[in-house]
Amino acid sequence: MSEPSAPTVRLRRDGAIATLTLDRPAARNALDLPMACALRDAAAAVAADPAVRVLRIDSSSAHFMVGGDVHRFNALLDDGPAACREEVDQIITAVHAAIRTLVALPCPVIGLAGGSVAGFGFSLAMACDLLVAADDARFVLAYSAIGTTPDGGSTWHLARLLGLCRAMAVALLNTPIDAREALALGLACEVVPAAELAAAGQRLAERLAAGPAGAQAGIKQLLRAALDRDLPGALDAERERFLDSVMQPDFAEGVRAFAARRPARFGAGD
């Protein structure tokens, strides 16, 4: 009997903060079918846990993710393109379910990316609400380098984050983007020394976990939907969200804390 394979995605929760760790270090987190399914299932587990107020996505190694497991694709091609297509379809179906879940989570999702952030790793990084990059991070889409097109929502996110012209350059030319350029382009919100990446991510997660969960969920939903609405639709959505917030304990706490000139204690009534 063969030994069960080690998990390639680990999920843990410490209080209100959940951490999803990519854990296939020997392959620099190259994505294969078991890892794709594990990522899908971990995202679904976070979505099912109402106690999670922040999700961090990190890596157990120096590299966030190099993209798809091209060595596996090469082996599959020995059995013909149809065999490769079948397994790639399963991988894409699983990771697209994960991306949909992560984007729809009410809680903020923080990505902590260092080293190689390539292919689907780049797609996953862009799906995070906030991305902290290590100063050694290098982003490259690289799909066309193996003769294929992007997946994981990267075309959707790139066009919105960078504009069409820059998105075309990133996707067609595969020029690596270093951490500072990623910050300048708006792909990352912060750049820190690689040795401080975990600590910076923890500080950000703790700050968000102490914030008003309902308001943060509303901000995330409003901003993610903004580019698909016209202005009247955005105004209507903002009105409804604001009025819903007024009825929540966090609003009363925030207003009373402001008036009393004291720090707000959000979530005390949870």
Exposure string for 69-93, b = 16+ CB within 10 A, e = fewer? beebbeebeeeeeeebeebbeebee
Ranges of the chain with pLDDT below 70: 1-5, 269-270
The 10s digit of each residue's pLDDT in 229-268 is 999 999 999 999 999 999 999 999 999 999 999 999 998 7
What pLDDT is attached to residue 1? Answer: 40
* Stated pTM of the model: 0.94
pLDDT at position 4 is 56
The pLDDT, as a whole number, for residue 270 is 61
pLDDT at 180 (0 to 100): 97
pLDDT tens-digit map of 14-40: 999 999 999 999 999 999 999 999 999
Q: Are 124 and 111 in contact (CB under 8 A)?
A: yes
pLDDT on residue 136: 98
